[in-house]
Amino acid sequence: MPSGVVQIIEGEYAVVQIQRQDMCGDCHACDAVHVSQSCTLKCINSIKSEIGDLVEISLDNTTFLKATYIIYGLPLLGLGIGIALGYFIASFFPNINNELFMIAGAGLGMLITFLIIKSQDKKNKYKKMLPHIVKIINSTH
């Protein structure tokens, strides 16, 4: 299981910095954000770890796949639907460039999906998809 150091405590959550794991595969998303091979995860802090603690975290693989679908798949779906809707609307205006409607539709489709995801996140609908801190390996206190 991956382990990391607690950086921030936010109520019932903890932000944990972890090193790149084998389970990351060819993702390299942490490379885009940080120069180092580490990234931060928001975790459920049910065992009341504190800042500086070395903790072990657990994330179910099926949960990870669902979260990946929500983060990448839904906006891509919104993009495709927006392009198709823009193309359909552009067919009613033969004198106007179709690509402009398609680009506007794509942007609007992605924006709507991002707003839906954000609203569901504020309602804690995705809380069950967060990793859990399961054990304190080394406490600083």
Domain ranges of the chain: 3-138
Spatial contact of 42 and 130, defined as CB atoms under 8 Å apart: yes
- Locate tokens 């600083």: which residue? 140
Spatial contact of 83 and 28, defined as CB atoms under 8 Å apart: no
DSSP collapsed to 3 states, 75-123: HHHHHHHHHHHHHHHHCCCCCCCHHHHHHHHHHHHHHHHHHHHHHHHHC
The pLDDT of residue 17: 84
The pLDDT of residue 27: 57
Q: Residues 26-39: pLDDT tens digits?
A: 555 555 555 556 67
- The model carries a pTM of 0.61
- Locate tokens 């193309």: which residue? 87
DSSP collapsed to 3 states, 79-90: HHHHHHHHHHHH
Tokens of 117: 């995801």
| CA R_g for the chain | 20
Asked whether residue 96 carries a pLDDT value surpassing 80, the answer given is yes
Q: Residues 97-108: pLDDT tens digits?
A: 889 999 999 999
